[in-house]
Structure 1
Amino acid sequence: MTKQREIGVIGLGKFGGSLALALQELEIDVLAIDRYEANVRQMRDRLPQVFQADGTDKAALEQLGFNDMEQVVVSIGNSMESSILVVLNLQDLGVKNIWVKAVSSQHEKVLQRLGVDFVVFPEQFVAKQMAHRLAVPGIMDYLGLGDDVLTREIEVEEWQNRTLRDLDLTNEHQVQVVAIKYKGSEHFTFVPSPDKPLEEGDVLVVLGKAENVLKLKKT
């Protein structure tokens, strides 16, 4: 039987708490801790595994089973020092995949030198998402994958009667059409036919690097 995936979350402030709940909604087991009783109390009825503990205490982490986890997210308020100490503790315990919320560019540099797998600035990430959505109609999502990947909806106008093979967007613009919602349909068709002529009103979902997707025109 396949073992149920479990992710640790250290720090249950606005970001850490929201992340823990979102993971649970995706049916991922979450082991969450916070040093402050108020944060733990707020989550006690919403998460099955939540404990008051200090992530800077390696013995406490080991006692709770973090040494058996493959992935842990660290979201420690505004304390760079505490965050770094938690990372060092997790590394000592053998955690292979550590994601961390950074509080400054200096913090990010230190985390990168420690070999942290993924560093995020939540506010900057959300601000970038909003900027793209406001600037370019049709933006569906901004994916923080390191290479600035966007998915964007484009309604067919000038491309009518042409096929995906004719457009050759992959070679011409370095983007990929991953789905189409044909005119009159309520649902997207994934892996669309390259030889079916497009109609005005069809909606394409394109995926690619942000710079390529943002420059893409419907001509």
Structure 2
Amino acid sequence: MKRGQYAVIGLGRFGSSLAKELVKLGYEVLGIDKDEEMVDEMSEVLTHVVVADATDEEVLRSLGIRNFDCAIVAIGDDIQSSIMTAILLKDIGVKTVVTKALSELHGKVLQKIGVDRVIFPERDMGVRVAHQLVSPNLLDYIELSKDYTIVELSVPKRLSGRTLRELDPRAKYGCSVVAINKKKGVIIAPTATDTVDEQDVMVIIGTNDQIESFESEVIG
């Protein structure tokens, strides 16, 4: 198998959405689910699909799962199957195992068995939506770690034409503008002389406090 091939186990709302997006991004995706209807639905979208029980080690081995670059366990509401599948994937030797957690406790168990990354789609989406609701200029919010966050902030009219040197987020607030999304394209790693215009989107990285200060004092 070439690098960049993914196996998505569990083709419910989250798993199918993730699998479709990976295909759009140009990767080959194997979809696995016990439900024949779900597999049929995804058969024309994904590279390969198979009806299978992912808690059966022999089945996983027969699918060559060990050769995949990454396996995502997106099993919907069966915590036992999710944990069993994750254990088998680690034992078989899949390079990277990412697992959806249904609760904080489920997530702790997955971390203890050595899953490479645990994701909480519902919790994380709730956090993002809450931030968007309380901050009208905030378009997106992603927590990178306990300390650092990356956000997208829309540029209001009154800041149109200002340079990053004038805004000076790093010196004044400690956060950094890592990209500016303009109508004509994205500026990655902008310099101090780059300007922002109304309806541009600034991508900013920093701590929550730094970004909050910058947003309240500069963006308004």
What does residue 83 of structure 1 align with? Answer: 82
4+ residue runs of structure 1 moved beyond 6 angstroms?
A: none
Check 1:202–1:80 CA distance in 2 against 1; reply closer, same or farther (3 A cut): closer
Aligned-pair identity (%): 35
In 2, distance between residues paired with 1:190 and 1:156? 22
Equivalent positions of 1:1-219 (< 5 A) are 3-146=2-145, 147-155=148-156, 157=158, 163-180=163-180, 186-195=184-193, 198=195, 201=198, 203=200, 205-209=202-206, 211=208, 212-216=210-214, 217-218=217-218
Q: Is the 8 A contact 2:10 2:73 kept in 1?
A: yes
Q: Is the 8 A contact 1:155 1:204 kept in 2?
A: no
Q: Is the 8 A contact 1:156 1:203 kept in 2?
A: no
In 2, distance between residues paired with 1:135 and 1:69? 41
For structure 1, list consecutive stretches of 5 or more residues without a partner in the other structure. Answer: none
CA RMSD of aligned residues (A): 2.6
In 2, distance between residues paired with 1:140 and 1:210? 17
Q: Is the 8 A contact 1:4 1:28 kept in 2?
A: no
Q: Normalised by the size of structure 1, how large is the TM-score?
A: 0.85
Q: Normalised by the size of structure 2, how large is the TM-score?
A: 0.85
Read off the aligned partner of 1:52 and give its amino acid letter.
V
SS at match of 2:44: coil
For structure 2, list consecutive stretches of 5 or more residues without a partner in the other structure. Answer: none
In 2, distance between residues paired with 1:127 and 1:11? 22
Q: CA deviation at 1:115?
A: 1.8
Residue by residue over 1:129-184, the C-alpha shift from the partner in whole angstroms, topping out at 9 and shown as x without a partner, is: 21111211222322243343222223363x678642344312321221234467xx
Tell me the matched-pair count. 214
Residue by residue over 1:4-30, the C-alpha shift from the partner in whole angstroms, topping out at 9 and shown as x without a partner, is: 520110001111111111110111110
Residue by residue over 1:26-52, the C-alpha shift from the partner in whole angstroms, topping out at 9 and shown as x without a partner, is: 111101100111211111122230000
Residue by residue over 1:54-104, the C-alpha shift from the partner in whole angstroms, topping out at 9 and shown as x without a partner, is: 110011011011011221100112111111110110011101211111111
SS at match of 1:148: strand
Say which is worse superposed, 126-135 or 24-33, in terms of deviation: 126-135
